[in-house]
């Protein structure tokens, strides 16, 4: 396996080209305003948001890949002493704004890196992603798949997001005299908030950092930091606790809605008796559930599959469930996994859990502490790709930064 050619969501080691799937923190570990190892390829939305996440980042390093497009990289193989070419197709991951999958093709075969994705085929965007993927594969199957296995277990089954969005509107409507808080991240679930705003004809409060992101995404009139203008507030997900809800209810009746694919239990709120008094979990997930992963596996039929998520909650090797699918050879996958000279991708990074820093936020004049909560996925994700010469019809030159 030749090192130093391509890295995906991996920023700490030398490569000739770096690919960003999306801007969630567990995929940008190692990026910083001072980072300058080489060209960074990403979607147009990620390119637009990246300077706000990393102020001072050198814009000359950013290479924009349009979603649905196919480009060709020309890299240098130190082993062969010659140029090698890799065809790259960028596919909508239907996860958060800017999130994409990457399909790499060459004489080494087909390598697909999903990043985080939702394979929700009743969605028009997902159907377009499927069309792009099938056209890029040209009838071939995927040799090596790096899969978002966040919910790779039969116990996880999620409704379509548009259905869950209606459920959220119904919950809010049934509490006309309550304030509402909704737990979200700094990026993602914008479609849910837009649906709530349109259905209820209301603005939605967000914290200042989130408002900046909303403005960059083009949502100028829907969101506000003025809590007097709305009873619906989107708050940082890791500040959403029972203590928060309890404190807010001392001021005004308040309910909390947590859109997530993760199962809820009493540990989150420390008081099982009061869980349903204030809190409403809804299965709004931006990751694929098990049945969606199963359909995706049937479509791409990989020879090798590796999960990219290692979780303290539930880590399931995709091969455990999908080894019996057509064209998936479990013994071959195990053999190739152990053969470093033949492997197409090498996963790197530790299984340490990311910890959200402590901090404060304010709602209705109250200050609440953000706890140090370990999230349920690995701190670092990413892969390094080795490739040989590939046939290309066009060229996208790579300049080292």
Question: Residue 299 belongs to a domain with what CATH number?
Answer: 3.60.15.10
Q: Tell me if 257 sits within 8 A of 168, measured CB to CB.
A: yes
Asked if 121 and 259 sit in the same domain, the reply is no
Number of neighbours of residue 93 by Cβ within 10 angstroms: 27
CATH of the domain at 198: 3.40.50.12650
102 secondary structure, DSSP code: E
Instruction: Determine whether 60 is exposed, middle or buried from the number of CB atoms within 10 Å of its CB (0-12, 13-18, 19+).
Output: exposed
Residues 242-266: what's their mean pLDDT? 85
pLDDT tens-digit profile of 322-331?
776 655 554 4
Q: How high is the mean pLDDT of the chain?
A: 80
Residue 44 included in any domain: yes
Q: Are residues 20 and 139 in the same domain?
A: yes
Residue 25: pLDDT over 60: yes
For residue 80, pLDDT beyond 80: no
**Residue 362 domain flag:** no
Global confidence as pTM: 0.81
The larger pLDDT score, comparing residue 334 to residue 51, is at: 51
Between 305 and 318, residue with greater pLDDT: 305
**What pLDDT is recorded for position 396?**
40
* Order of strands, sheet of 304-307, starting from the edge strand that comes earlier in the sequence: 304-307, 144-147, 109-113, 100-106, 82-92, 70-77, 396-397
Structural domain total, the chain: 2
Whether residue 361 is contained in a domain is answered as no
Which tokens belong to 172?
């809010």
Contacts of 28 (CB under 8 A, 6+ apart): 9, 11, 20, 53
pLDDT attached to residue 399: 32
Highest mean pLDDT among 83-92, 94-103, 253-262: 94-103
Is 366 within a domain?
no
Q: Which tens digits make up the pLDDT trace of 124-183?
A: 888 999 999 999 998 888 999 999 999 998 889 999 999 999 999 999 999 999 999 999
Domain limit, last residue, from 282, 316, 331: 282
d(CA 8, CA 1): 16
* Token pair in block for residue 66: 């349009």
Residues 300 and 234 in one domain: no
Q: What is the pLDDT of residues 179-198, one digit of tens each?
A: 999 999 999 999 999 999 99
Cβ neighbours for 119, distance < 8 A, ≥ 6 positions apart: 94, 126, 288, 292, 293, 295, 296
Residue 276 lies in domain: 161-282
Residues 24 and 126 in one domain: yes
């Amino acid at each position: 396996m030749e090192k130093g050619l391509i890295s995906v969501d991996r920023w700490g080691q030398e490569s000739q080209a770096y690919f960003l799937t999306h801007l969630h923190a567990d995929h940008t570990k190692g990026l910083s305003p001072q980072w300058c190892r080489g060209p960074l390829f990403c979607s147009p939305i990620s390119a637009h948001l990246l300077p706000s996440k990393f102020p001072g980042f050198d814009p000359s390093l950013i290479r924009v890949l349009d979603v649905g497009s196919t480009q060709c990289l020309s890299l240098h193989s130190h082993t062969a002493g010659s140029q090698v070419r890799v065809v790259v197709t960028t596919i909508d991951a239907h996860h958060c704004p800017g999130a994409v999958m990457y399909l790499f093709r060459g004489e080494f075969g087909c390598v697909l890196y999903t990043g985080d994705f939702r394979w929700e085929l009743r969605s028009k965007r997902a159907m377009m992603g499927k069309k792009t993927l099938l056209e890029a594969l040209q009838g071939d199957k995927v040799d090596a798949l790096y899969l978002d296995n966040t919910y790779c277990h039969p116990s996880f089954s999620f409704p379509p997001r548009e259905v869950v969005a209606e459920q959220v509107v119904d919950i809010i409507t049934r509490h006309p005299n309550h304030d509402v808080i909704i737990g979200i991240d700094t990026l993602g679930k914008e479609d849910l908030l837009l649906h709530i705003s349109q259905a209820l004809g209301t603005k939605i409060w967000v914290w200042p950092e989130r408002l900046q992101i909303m403005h960059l995404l083009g949502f100028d009139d829907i969101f506000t930091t003025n809590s007097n203008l709305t009873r619906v507030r989107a708050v940082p997900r890791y500040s959403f606790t029972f203590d928060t809800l309890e404190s807010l209810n001392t001021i005004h009746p308040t309910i909390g809605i947590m859109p997530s694919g993760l199962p809820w239990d009493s540990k989150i709120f420390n008081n099982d008796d009061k869980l349903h008094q204030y809190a409403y979990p809804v299965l709004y997930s931006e990751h694929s559930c098990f049945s969606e992963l199963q359909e995706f596996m049937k479509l791409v039929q990989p020879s090798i599959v590796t999960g990219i998520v290692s979780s303290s909650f539930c880590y399931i090797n995709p091969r455990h469930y999908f080894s019996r699918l057509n064209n998936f050879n479990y013994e071959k996958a195990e053999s190739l996994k152990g053969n470093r000279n033949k492997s197409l991708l090498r996963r790197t990074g530790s299984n340490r859990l990311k910890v959200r820093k402590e901090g404060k936020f304010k709602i209705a004049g109250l200050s609440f502490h953000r706890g140090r909560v370990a999230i349920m996925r690995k701190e670092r994700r990413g892969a390094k790709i080795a490739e040989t010469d590939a046939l290309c019809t066009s060229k996208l030159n790579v300049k080292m930064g």
